[in-house]
Amino acid sequence: MNPAFSVKQGQYLAFIYYYSKVNGYPPAQADIQKYFGVSAPTVHQTILKLETDELISRTPRESRSLKVLIKTDELPLEW
């Protein structure tokens, strides 16, 4: 595992990456919330932390703008 992020953050990164790859567009925060079964504030805070740590990029106030910035071989294989 990459020491730059926690197990939970790795799960979010992998979800964002693979959701984008499968669907052709990034997930909305509501998609992440539904998948992980967590509250909207939890998703939002995790997204902000991932962005602060420069693991993802996003455009504020633009839906479905999440982009994973790490190499795919750094994503966790099991989640």
What CATH number has the domain bearing residue 59? Answer: 1.10.10.10
The counts of H helices and E strands in the chain are: 3, 2
d(CA 72, CA 69): 9
Q: Which two tokens stand for residue 22?
A: 């499968």
Structural domain includes residue 2: no
Q: Which two tokens stand for residue 34?
A: 């539904």
d(CA 9, CA 68): 12
Structural domain includes residue 75: no
- Structurally, how many domains does the chain consist of? 1
Region of 64 on the Ramachandran plot (φ > 0 left; ψ -120 to 50 alpha; else beta): left
Mean pLDDT over each residue of the chain, to the nearest integer? 92
Structural domain includes residue 78: no
Structural domain includes residue 76: no
Which residue's structure tokens are 């020491």? 3
Structural domain includes residue 44: yes
Structural domain includes residue 40: yes
Confidence of residue 3 (pLDDT cuts 50, 70, 90): low
Structural domain includes residue 74: no
Structural domain includes residue 46: yes
- Give the structural domain span for 16: 7-69
pLDDT digits (tens, 9 = 90+) for 29-65: 999 999 999 999 999 999 999 999 999 999 988 999 9
Which residue's structure tokens are 């693979």? 18
